[in-house]
Chain A
Amino acid sequence: MLQLTYFGQSQIPVEAECLAPDQLAGKTPGEIARLPVQHGNSTAPLGDFFEIAGHADDQELRLMGDCSRVKGVGRRMQSGRIVIAGDIGMHVGAEMQGGEIVVQGQAADWAGAEMRGGTLRIHGNAGDLLGGCYRGGRTGMRGGEIFVDGHAGHETGHSLRRGFIAVGGQAGDFTGVSMIAGTIFVFGSTGRRIGAGMKRGTIATFGTAPALLPTFRYASQLAPAFLAMYFRRLDELGFLQPQANLPPVCRRYCGDLASLGKGEILVFDAAAT
């Protein structure tokens, strides 16, 4: 296992996109220390910010220290595992294609943005645009899974195309905005304008019933059978919500009719039963 301990004191973020197990495998600590990272408007060697021990031949990477200003960890990673023993800066796991990232603290904005595969687990809270789409892009997350035990910020799953996002706590405004397909579960309350502009896909809310946009139309009550498969996966991961506490029946709303209108919001609350 390769262990990197952040000792940097600078308030300027460090953009360390090289920190992906598949990129570091086979490199010596000295080689890793010389890898360039972006620090403000200049490049600096990784070793200026991290103490490095071990090797990544087993594609295991552990980040220690306060990494809340380290950005882009695990970007585009294809395989391996990263464990972040604390907070992490923006863009963790962005565009990742495979492997696993576990954040034991909080993750800043853009966690898992435009990711295509793999698993991102955040035990704390996540910032805005979790699994989202970079500005101007056409699709956000295109595959993989994101699990957040805490809360998530605004625009969670922006332009989600495929994949699964589960948020144990609350999610902010515009959850699932412009969703193209895929699935989002929110076990706490959601902010305003959930599912705005969604074309297809499923948003399920298990907390306080959200105020829906007028472009969502009530369709039916139902007890969706597919939930069992998702809950089995959540159980495997030891995710927060025990299945037994959830209402079995939901109200289904179709929308967003201002867009294609083939999406659905499933509202699980006491009123539905």
Chain B
Amino acid sequence: MSLLKITGGTVYDPTNQVDGVVQDLWVRDGKIVAAPVDPTVRPDRILDATGLVVMAGGVDLHAHIAGPKVNLARKMRPEDKRHGAVLPRTPITRSGTLGSVPSTFATGYLYAGMGYTTVFDAAIPPLGARHAHEEFADTPLIDKGFFLLFGNNHYVLQQIAAGNTERLNAFIAWLLQAAQGYAVKVVNPGGVETWKQGRNDLAGLDDRVAHFGVTPRQILSSIAQAAMDLGLPHPVHVHCNHLGLPGNWKTTLDTMQALEGRRAHLTHIQFHSYGGDPDNQSQFCSLVPALADYVNAHPHLTVDVGQVLFGETTSMTGDGPLGYYLHKVTGRKWTNADTEMEAGCGIVPITYKEKSFVHALQWAIGLEWYLLVQDPWQIAMSTDHPNGGSFLAYPQIIQLLMDRNYRREVLQQVPPRVLERSVLKDLDREYSLYEIAIITRAGPARMLGLPHKGHLGVGADADIAAYTPSADKLAMFELPRWVIKGGEMVVEQGEVRRELFGPTVRVDTQCEASFIPHIRKWFEEFYTVQFDNYPVDEHYLPYGSRTVPCRPADPPHNSRP
């Protein structure tokens, strides 16, 4: 196969401790390879990257880009599509629509157009897995995978209540295989099921879920431990209880402590960092410093931010009661979905207003997280697309992080109370390009346990983005000079040059056959779907898959610090 040499680029590759070094990259068969030892070997193609900033392709570990909820959002918001831009068809690309929830093909083009080449959907109910894979098959230019919802699954709750760890682990392993998923997601553990029963949300981590008799604390610790026992490459991905409620920082801290040293990723942490009283908006404030201190002291925890950006977007969540709460607060239309034994879902349009104290404080809280977590390897960039804003806002976030003067200019435009209720005005930190490379590609890849992504070392996928250096970081990261996917030039100066499809990333878990009859029996008693029809077969992955092996099981959690 042909050999490509990319010469003269200024490379930022934190995984390999390369910080702005001018060096060559060699690519063969879609992979980064070592420079030939034989000096007579000549590359078939040379790409001159002199003067450009070169990074691995971006990795988004938490977005909502496929599956039932995303499609429901598209359907319930025709006005969003009508006001959104249109991507016209070209000889290479399909047409598409934007708005807050872009169509499938447009999603792929737009991510790649920004230099991102790997994206994970963060909340797929297992029954919706087939749908998600079908949409993935229509999402070009990126590798993709998804996390499966487990935190309110009836079988899971039953096994936790029974204390049957073996059956719990086996079920998680089986379901990840059956749905061709990648990681374990927990959304409002126990709270969604409680709300589905028509009850008020749980007050704390030690309230019991009616009928099942388990607590959020038990759900969290059991599933986190299961992920570790199975050696999943990505630890449990936690959407804490009480998202969006003033005063929820205490629940978030309780959640971190409830994990008792187990590895975990806490997602869209911005939405879980609020002080104040749920019944009194005037006390709403940021409590990021207390939570960030905890994360700083516990390296087994990682977070992504869920940054809020001002503008129109669509909230979509597996947290059914949250959807209802937003519907009541905003008075806007609402979709609620109950996925039988598995999960919930709520979708509500939302407009984040710069002049709104609450929205502006949410914006500030997100930035505080980026600036207060000391180790950039513990924090990943996200907007929880589209919940906090579109993934297209990542360059804007980069500019806010790299330029404190710009950050302060924006801060001057928000309600003055925000300055009193957050510490953002006191934070002088500016991110370097090296740190940006960590939170946008190297860090998320490491958190996900993807050995082949997020870096430019030998053996990595040749997903490479080159940016034209500029003091205007927004312009720099909005429009890469070029993007290479799997060794092929796919985007040049914002224009898609070639449409190719990346594989689906899944995890290789094994479930002992002896556990299957029990799962089958449960299915046949309760599900609307026949057990044999439930698993997603290979036909739904027309562009192949990349299977990531499980790691050796982590040591028991009580031996960890």
Contact = CB atoms under 8 A, between A and B. Distances in A.
A134 B77 CA distance: 11
B93 to A, nearest CB: 16
A135 B78 CA distance: 6
A198 to B, nearest CB: 16
Interface in B81-107: 82
A105 to B, nearest CB: 27
A163 B80 CA distance: 24
Determine the main DSSP class of A at the interface with B. Answer: loop
B79 interface: yes
B76 interface: yes
Interface string A135-176: 111100000000000000000000000000000000000000
Contacts of A134: 78-79, 82
Contacts of B82: 134, 136
Interface string A68-85: 000000000000000000
A75 to B, nearest CB: 12
Nearest to B95: A41
Interface string B57-85: 00000000000000000001111101000
B86 to A, nearest CB: 11
A200 B79 CA distance: 23
* Size bracket of the B interface: under 10
Contacts of A135: 78-79
B351 to A, nearest CB: 11
Contacts of B77: 136
B348 to A, nearest CB: 13
A138 B82 CA distance: 13
Nearest to B75: A136
Contacts of A137: 79
A57 to B, nearest CB: 32
A260 B80 CA distance: 26
A134 B79 CA distance: 7
Contacts of B79: 134-138
A245 B419 CA distance: 65
A62 B77 CA distance: 36
Contacts of A136: 76-80, 82
Interface in B423-456: none
A137 B77 CA distance: 8
Contacts of A138: 79, 332
Interface in A122-136: 134-136
A83 B77 CA distance: 34
Contacts of B78: 134-136
Highest count of chain B CB atoms <10 Å: which of A135, A136, A137: A136
A137 B83 CA distance: 10
Nearest to A43: B88
A137 B79 CA distance: 5
Nearest to A133: B79
Contacts of B332: 138
B482 to A, nearest CB: 30
A89 to B, nearest CB: 18
B324 to A, nearest CB: 19
Contacts of B80: 136
A42 to B, nearest CB: 10
A257 B60 CA distance: 47
A14 to B, nearest CB: 19
A76 to B, nearest CB: 12
Nearest to A137: B79
A251 to B, nearest CB: 31
Interface in A87-116: none
A65 B82 CA distance: 30
A181 to B, nearest CB: 16
Nearest to B81: A136
* Highest count of chain A CB atoms <10 Å: which of B76, B78, B79, B332: B79
A257 to B, nearest CB: 18
Nearest to B83: A137
B347 to A, nearest CB: 12
A136 B335 CA distance: 13
A135 B75 CA distance: 10
B386 to A, nearest CB: 16
A51 to B, nearest CB: 29
13 contacts: A134-B78, A134-B79, A134-B82, A135-B78, A135-B79, A136-B76, A136-B77, A136-B78, A136-B79, A136-B80, A136-B82, A137-B79, A138-B79
Interface of A: 134-138
Interface of B: 76-80, 82, 332
In the A-B complex, the 5 residue pairs with the closest CB atoms: A136-B78, A136-B79, A137-B79, A135-B78, A136-B77
Given A135-B79, A136-B76, 11 more contacts: A134-B78, A134-B79, A134-B82, A135-B78, A136-B77, A136-B78, A136-B79, A136-B80, A136-B82, A137-B79, A138-B332
